Structure 1
Amino acid sequence: MGSQWVRPYTPGNGRWLVIVWEAVALALLTWASIRQFDLIGHGVRAVACTLAAVWVIGAWRILRHGVYVSSDGVLIRGLLRSRSMRWHDIAGVHLHQSIHKLGRWELQNDTTVLIERHDGATVNTELWARGVDFHSRPKLFRAVYQEIRNRHRAAAEN
């Protein structure tokens, strides 16, 4: 897949809140670790540098997180892994309403975009209607969904 990957939407401001939240959490973990183990000197620097590196890598992955498209296919970048699929491997792109059961009750969670492969497997995307990117922009969520579907249709026609 040699073509250029493009994210068909701009990331939401909620990502920055997540990154700041994680910075505060890791700062508290650093402080607690130093206090708990009575670290001094090199120990303090080692813990602080290690957790700072974890934060930088995590923040970078959060910023790159999402769904990208190209003329060849779709790329889904998650926090821990990425996967790409060619358009001809994809049978369809659908909206899915996730529901959680709690005893007799059904709780509607959120709408997400699912990719169905020709082998019958489904692939979750990182696109959630009420996620950090689309929470206050529902029209953008629908537009991104339509963009992915249109690209899939165009690739199937060729």
Structure 2
Amino acid sequence: MIAWEAAALGLLTWASIRQFDLIGHGVRAITGVLAVVWVIGAWRILQHGVYVSSHGLLIRGLVRSRTMYWRDIAAVHLHRSTHKLGWWELQDDMTVLIERHDGATINTELWAQGVDFHARPKLFRAVYQEIRSRHQSAAGSS
């Protein structure tokens, strides 16, 4: 996986240098900028996920993070997403959705076919059940 990313980064750097006819400092600048973007993206991917605490959930995505307190969460449930392609409806896999008291839904980074759960469907269900039980116990203690 890293080899593909490094190759793509190298190709993007080479194409940028050629496109803009960069030389000297321009080459070093574009190489440095793209390397920094790659490192930041890799760091965000490593931090990606849903973190559970006694106070609520921290949902870290690629671009942003959000904290959801248990008191703000109305329900936690599984959602099977579908995508329409013309007349066809394609079934996607299960994700965990958070429903807030104001009716808004928050998509988590938990996906049954994701890297963490693809070969371990029981673990996906266990994580989902843990989030639900934490929410229910927090709602019961309020």
Taking structure 2 as the reference length, the TM-score comes to 0.93
In the alignment, the residues of structure 2 paired with residue 106 and residue 117 of structure 1 have an alpha-carbon distance, to the nearest angstrom, of 28
- Pair 1:54–1:144, CA change in 2 (3 A): same
- The residue type equivalent to 1:102 in the other structure is L
Q: CA deviation at 1:20?
A: 4.4
Name 1:147's counterpart in structure 2: 130
Name 2:68's counterpart in structure 1: 85
Point out 4+ residue stretches in structure 1 off by more than 6 angstroms. none
1:108-147 → structure 2 map (5 Å cutoff): 108-147=91-130
Which deviates further from its counterpart, 132-141 or 52-61? 132-141
- The residue type equivalent to 1:137 in the other structure is R
In the alignment, the residues of structure 1 paired with residue 89 and residue 15 of structure 2 have an alpha-carbon distance, to the nearest angstrom, of 40
Cα root mean square deviation, aligned? 1.3
Q: CA deviation at 1:135?
A: 1.4
Which deviates further from its counterpart, 36-45 or 53-62? 36-45
Name 1:43's counterpart in structure 2: 26
Unaligned runs of 5+ residues in structure 1 are: 1-16
**What per-residue deviation string (whole Å, max 9, x for no partner) do you get for residues 49-70 of structure 1?**
0000000000000000111111
**What per-residue deviation string (whole Å, max 9, x for no partner) do you get for residues 24-77 of structure 1?**
212110011112223221111001000000000000000001111110000110
- SS of 1:80's partner is coil
Q: CA deviation at 1:101?
A: 2.0
**What per-residue deviation string (whole Å, max 9, x for no partner) do you get for residues 90-142 of structure 1?**
11100000011223322101110000111111110001111122111211111
From 51, 61, 81, the counterpart of 1:98: 81
Unaligned runs of 5+ residues in structure 2 are: none
> Percent of aligned pairs with the same residue?
79
Aligned length: 141
